[in-house]
Structure 1
């Protein structure tokens, strides 16, 4: 599928479907990146559905506490639990997953919303380009480490658990170079300082969202059919968010002016964007097979980019998956056993 500028404008000016509402009183929900933007608004919606537990995972403790207090005051729900995680630090992700397993256990809904948009090249303490690590590698790491908790909850429930990976329609705009497609380690290639500065930072955010679509599809291909877990990718659409605050901080810059004009003409509200996350988490419960591995937008299943569906795309998806598992297996000794127990070869 291809999305033209006209498609984009039509979607942005169309009516946003209302938020899905279900009974979550017996379910545990985890939102990663929950203290601001669409993650915060989605957490509000979940809170109004009275889940058994609502875990709000944030990088900043002070901002997380303020978000919890605001949700409690606005919704009257007192089941929010703040947990701290930093996706720019693999050790923090592993520690979070270990603590979650010991203290919380079963997980019915995982929403991986945290992400960054960096205009300049930055390395994390783990040695990866920051957007590639936060938006993709660390997101994949936590998602894989929580599979046992998701499956355990799904087996005890009348319906499969949901893993929601927040992606974007910008994945339609990515066409990797021949060098990257031919590389046995494309993630390593893309993360290098030379590649990023000379050729990569302009589309790094786009690439990270393509890789999240790859991850959901590759994981779905490998999940055993009887496994009570559905993974989906979702686009919140183009909406107001502090996600683009790095551009607004550039006073009087051309890109600041362009972003501001685009937002005023086209952007949905942050709350409207959050409805897409909620739909991905609780929608289509009566049609689970249709939603497994799907890419969701505007409250419906959408076809992914033509490149993803192409032979080249399938090949790159498998290459990215293999490299991802190799990288993350070095980060946590739990990855290999999880792959062996829950996924097909």
Structure 2
């Protein structure tokens, strides 16, 4: 809330010329506006990864109309993060059809207080955590190969939130290897805290992935950006209360943070960024408690990812 009033992220100016970019959840909100900004900054090819292709095509048409970019700059590909098979199929298409991959922006996510199971988890956990990192690990080799082949640095940027700091995460008290089982218990689920928890778990996973992929060896910058409270489709199931809506950033302003993260310098590797600046982690991400929880969460998440796609986490 402090930065909401004291800081406005600047519009990035780094060129994306010659770069191939994937943005998930890009038919609306922050993802859409980030694509528009990257087109303006010269991106050569943007894959708009969306669940609904017809809505994605409408969004691409809108960007073409406002930027006058070449029609082939934007492509719309189907991706449903509530389905592991959809993620696997999308990743295989990327490996087959894209000669290079410079940027993967993991923007798609849900905020819901309705308990639903998709795949083997509560839906927030499947979409905001498991599928996000399944996609990240699946495409890491493509990002690495692009960096090494073209003597550049590529980016895997995920969209986080300062709400990770206030996550209660009562499920952390579950017995060893029981975190995801506890998160799947509808009777004890605190859905008002679930979005916060999903983003907290994403911070653990991002820190672990960055540690497993040294920048000097792979050339892949892995970071997390927080756009602040923005007008976006994240709140489609529950509208922002009037006072919060009044202070929410315009969507295109929040999107600047995503665009920056996708072109950020090496010192952002493994970092959490607020308005283009690295920030120290707090709450359950800090100190010995944070280190212990990161190890515990990663142990269970890695097992889950390896079950879906054996060998996927071997990126070092």
TM-score range, shorter chain: over 0.9
**Pairing 1:339–2:316 present:** no
1:175 shift after superposition: 3.7
Deviations 1:173-208 (A, max 9, x none): 124337536542312221222332xxx211000000
TM-score for the superposition, normalised by structure 1? 0.87
Alpha-carbon distance in 1 for matches of 2:177, 2:13: 44
TM-score, normalising length: structure 2: 0.95
User: For residues 188-243 of structure 1, what are the alpha-carbon distances to aligned partners after superposition, in whole Å with 9 as ceiling and x for unaligned?
Assistant: 221222332xxx21100000000111111011111134111111011010011121
Q: Contact 1:31 / 1:56 at 8 angstroms: preserved in 2?
A: yes
2:309 counterpart of 1:321: no
Residue deviations 1:157-186 (CA, integer Å, cap 9, x gap)? 333211001110000112433753654231
Alignment pair present for 1:94 and 2:88:
yes
> Partners in 1 of 2:172 and 2:197 — Cα distance?
14
**1:28-177 equivalences in 2 (<5 Å):** 28-78=20-70, 79-124=73-118, 126-177=119-170
Kindly state the Cα deviation for residue 272 of structure 1 after the two structures are TM-superposed: 0.7
Contact 1:12/1:237 (8 A) holds in 2? yes
Check whether the contact 1:20–1:283 (CA below 8 A) recurs between aligned residues: no
Conserved? CA contact 1:181–1:316, under 8 Å: no
Q: What secondary structure is seen at the aligned counterpart in 2 of 1:212?
A: helix
Cα gap change, 1:331/1:50 in structure 2, threshold over 3 Å: closer, same or farther?
same
Tell me the matched-pair count. 313
Seen in structure 2, the aligned counterparts of structure 1 residues 46 and 14 have a Cα distance that, compared at 3 Å, is same
Q: Secondary structure at the match of 2:187?
A: helix
1: CA distance, partners of 2:184 / 2:90:
25
* 2:208 matches 1:218: yes
Moved more, 186-195 or 77-86: 186-195
* Distance change >3 Å, CA 12–CA 179, structure 1 → 2: closer
SS of alignment partner, residue 313 of structure 2: helix
**Residue in 2 aligned with 1:5?**
none
**Gaps in structure 1 of 5+ consecutive residues:** 1-7, 249-255
For the 8 Å contact 1:132–1:191, the answer to whether it is kept is no
Query: CA-atom RMSD, angstroms?
Result: 1.5
How many Å separate the matches in 2 of 1:129 and 1:52? Answer: 37
1-structure distance, mates of 2:280, 2:172:
26
Structure richer in helix, relative to its length: 1
